[in-house]
């Protein structure tokens, strides 16, 4: 009996010893870089208006369906509708300040109204109507195309909505980031949440463009008495490198792989049709030659005239204000900043094996001075409407590509991808991409001798990035 109890006590002891709960062993999962077709399985784009498919001074479905990220996704073989974009119904949302027409109004995209012989907003409507035009507001995940018109490099990591954008009131952040629905996080964090395997990132343009469109670009030296409106190159470089690392490390820390990033550099800003040489402006605006009328602008040494200046009748009206022209020093500042940014981008690409460069600057330089690089209004004077719309790569705002132009951008990115990754994704047939600057109204009337821009359109264009 005693023996039995001894055995029982021993049993209890053994059980007590052997019966504790251990923390389970840690198991390792393998994280691997996507290979082969897997690389192209999750494409996400970040950037600004150029990524968003902004066209004719606004964001509207007619342009968005041909945004370069959508064209790339189509080339990858994504089924229609599977590349989520913040599609906006007609007449679109322009980044427009039209408050002089009334309170809480929004301008749609610009169109060319042949009857009036000038560019005007397609429509001006109540701000309250905007939510009803957001066709993809219910997409349950962050958009695949996260490009936000007006976004600066700082905005990519900092802006959660209009109030926190660098401009202070850029409502496109509200439409596209859809916070607080997505947890009040930035474009960068929405990108990370999507876990891209491949992505495009085209940023930096607005860090120069905002000041350029002011007509008073300022790095703190050219206009020492005014606010700086161009991001200094050193600060841009710091933000750009931080952003790239934030994307690569962020996706890796969340999903276990590093995405391949195809970045675009900054095209020459002073070469786009929005900036006309003084000779071209005199010609288009119907001004007398330099001998007859030596000065037409407040900035007597103006070398470039901004497109909205066409809303002024320079031949008989007041001198064109300084915010519609760039002096030589201002043009040099803009050009030098583009070069400095592109050097930074090249160095950033070279330093990271996952990052590849689409040299947008070189590609667009190839079109500078050619009919394809000219504004519709300029071309129409010599070629006629139809040939002009079929030729130019730029939309009516003179800054953003039109559908055909976005096809060229997509092909630029696709060519780099095919070269770097050994793929053979088909190029976009740019000849098949059409653009209607009248937005369905048609021409029906001969081109006026002096094409112009309505004051509303001019205001809208000047407010593109504010």
Part of the chain binding another protein (CB under 8 A), chosen from 15-23, 104-112, 208-216, 434-442: 15-23
Decide: is 17 part of the binding site for another protein (CB under 8 A). no
Q: Report the alpha-carbon distance of residue 303 to residue 275 in Å, rounded.
A: 9
| Torsional sign, CA 435, 439, 443, 447 | negative
Beta pairing partners, 394:
401
Q: Report the alpha-carbon distance of residue 231 to residue 207 in Å, rounded.
A: 5
- Calculated CA dihedral for residues 123, 126, 132, 136, nearest 10 degrees: 60
Decide: is 220 part of the binding site for another protein (CB under 8 A). no
Provide the minimum distance between the beta carbon of 30 and another protein in the complex, in angstroms, as a whole number. 3
Q: Which is nearer to another protein, 92 or 161 (CB)?
A: 161
Q: Which is nearer to another protein, 3 or 100 (CB)?
A: 3
Decide: is 291 part of the binding site for another protein (CB under 8 A). no
Part of the chain binding another protein (CB under 8 A), chosen from 107-115, 184-192, 308-316, 409-417: 184-192
118-121 and 43-47 beta bridge pairing: unpaired
Provide the minimum distance between the beta carbon of 194 and another protein in the complex, in angstroms, as a whole number. 8
By CB under 8 A, what part of segment 239-258 binds another protein?
Answer: 250, 252-256
Provide the minimum distance between the beta carbon of 24 and another protein in the complex, in angstroms, as a whole number. 4
Q: Which is nearer to another protein, 191 or 334 (CB)?
A: 191
Decide: is 336 part of the binding site for another protein (CB under 8 A). no
Sequence-separated (6 or more) residues with CB below 8 Å from residue 84: 136, 139, 141, 143, 144, 145
Angle at 68 between CA 428 and CA 375, to 5 degrees: 90
Q: Examine residue 180 and say whether the peptide bond preceding it is cis (omega within 30 degrees of 0).
A: yes
Which of 2, 26, 103, 292 touches another protein by CB under 8 A? 26
Decide: is 432 part of the binding site for another protein (CB under 8 A). no
Q: Which is nearer to another protein, 11 or 390 (CB)?
A: 11
Q: Which is nearer to another protein, 251 or 304 (CB)?
A: 251
Which of 88, 106, 193, 383 touches another protein by CB under 8 A? 193
Which of 144, 190, 206, 218 touches another protein by CB under 8 A? 190
Helix (H) or strand (E) holding 186: none
Provide the minimum distance between the beta carbon of 184 and another protein in the complex, in angstroms, as a whole number. 6
105-107 and 198-202 beta bridge pairing: unpaired
Q: Which is nearer to another protein, 11 or 339 (CB)?
A: 11
Q: CB-hemisphere CA count at 13 Å for 84?
A: 17
Q: Report the alpha-carbon distance of residue 404 to residue 434 in Å, rounded.
A: 6
CA-derived radius of gyration, the chain: 27
Which of 28, 103, 128, 225 touches another protein by CB under 8 A? 28
Which of 47, 142, 267, 407 touches another protein by CB under 8 A? 142
Decide: is 123 part of the binding site for another protein (CB under 8 A). no
Structure tokens at 179: 């916070």
Which of 78, 105, 135, 182 touches another protein by CB under 8 A? 182
Q: Which is nearer to another protein, 245 or 386 (CB)?
A: 245
Provide the minimum distance between the beta carbon of 269 and another protein in the complex, in angstroms, as a whole number. 32
Decide: is 318 part of the binding site for another protein (CB under 8 A). no
Nearest to 361 by CA among 264, 267, 272, 270: 267
DSSP SS3 for 320: strand
Q: Which is nearer to another protein, 52 or 192 (CB)?
A: 192
Q: Report the alpha-carbon distance of residue 192 to residue 142 in Å, rounded.
A: 10
Part of the chain binding another protein (CB under 8 A), chosen from 58-66, 128-136, 183-191, 331-339: 183-191
Sequence-separated (6 or more) residues with CB below 8 Å from residue 378: 273, 276, 280, 284
Contact 131, 464 (CB under 8 A): no
- Calculated CA dihedral for residues 58, 62, 63, 64, nearest 10 degrees: 100
Which of 6, 9, 11, 221 touches another protein by CB under 8 A? 11
Provide the minimum distance between the beta carbon of 5 and another protein in the complex, in angstroms, as a whole number. 10
Q: Report the alpha-carbon distance of residue 172 to residue 178 in Å, rounded.
A: 9
Catalog residues that contact another protein under the rule CB under 8 A. Answer: 1, 4, 8, 11-12, 15, 18-31, 141-142, 180-186, 188-193, 195, 250, 252-256
């Amino acid at each position: 009996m005693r023996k039995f109890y001894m055995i029982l006590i021993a049993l209890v002891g053994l059980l007590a010893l052997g019966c504790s709960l251990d923390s389970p062993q840690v198991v390792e999962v393998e994280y691997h870089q996507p290979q082969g077709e897997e690389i192209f399985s999750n494409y996400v784009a970040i950037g600004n208006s150029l990524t968003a498919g902004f066209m004719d001074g606004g964001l509207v479905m007619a342009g968005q369906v041909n945004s370069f990220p959508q064209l790339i996704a189509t080339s990858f073989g994504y089924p229609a509708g599977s590349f989520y974009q913040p599609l906006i119904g007609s007449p679109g949302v322009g980044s427009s300040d039209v408050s002089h027409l009334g309170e809480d109004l929004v301008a749609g995209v610009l169109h060319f109204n042949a009857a009036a012989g000038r560019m005007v907003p397609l429509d001006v409507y109540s701000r309250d109507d905007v939510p009803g035009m957001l066709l993809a507001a219910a997409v349950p995940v962050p958009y695949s195309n996260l490009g936000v018109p007006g976004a600066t490099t700082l905005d990519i990591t900092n802006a959660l909505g209009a109030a926190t954008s660098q401009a202070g009131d850029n409502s496109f952040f509200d439409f596209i980031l859809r916070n607080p629905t997505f947890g009040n996080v930035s474009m960068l964090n929405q990108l990370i949440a999507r876990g891209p395997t491949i992505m495009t990132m085209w940023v930096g343009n607005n860090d120069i463009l905002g000041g350029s469109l002011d007509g008073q670009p300022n790095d703190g030296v050219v206009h020492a008495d005014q606010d700086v409106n161009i991001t200094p190159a050193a600060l841009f470089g710091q933000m750009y490198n931080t952003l790239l690392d934030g994307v690569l490390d962020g996706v890796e820390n969340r999903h276990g792989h590093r995405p391949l990033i195809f970045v675009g550099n900054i095209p020459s800003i002073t070469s786009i049709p929005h900036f006309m040489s003084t000779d071209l402006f005199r010609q288009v605006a119907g001004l007398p030659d330099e001998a007859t009328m030596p000065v037409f602008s407040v900035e007597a040494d103006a070398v470039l005239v901004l497109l909205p200046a066409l809303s002024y009748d320079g031949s008989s009206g007041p001198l064109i204000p300084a915010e519609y022209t760039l002096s030589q020093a201002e043009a040099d500042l803009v050009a030098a900043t583009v070069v400095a940014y592109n050097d930074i981008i090249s160095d950033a690409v070279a330093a990271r094996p996952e990052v590849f460069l689409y040299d947008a600057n070189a590609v667009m330089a190839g079109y500078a001075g050619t009919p394809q690089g000219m504004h519709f209004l300029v071309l129409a004077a010599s070629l006629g409407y139809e040939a002009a719309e079929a030729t130019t790569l730029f939309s009516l705002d003179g800054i953003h590509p039109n559908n055909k132009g976005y096809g060229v951008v997509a092909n630029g990115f696709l060519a780099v991808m095919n070269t770097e990754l050994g793929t053979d994704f088909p190029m976009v047939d740019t000849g098949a991409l059409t653009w209607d600057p009248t937005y369905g109204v048609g021409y029906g009337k001969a081109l006026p001798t002096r094409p112009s821009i309505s004051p509303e359109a001019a205001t809208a264009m000047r407010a593109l990035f504010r």
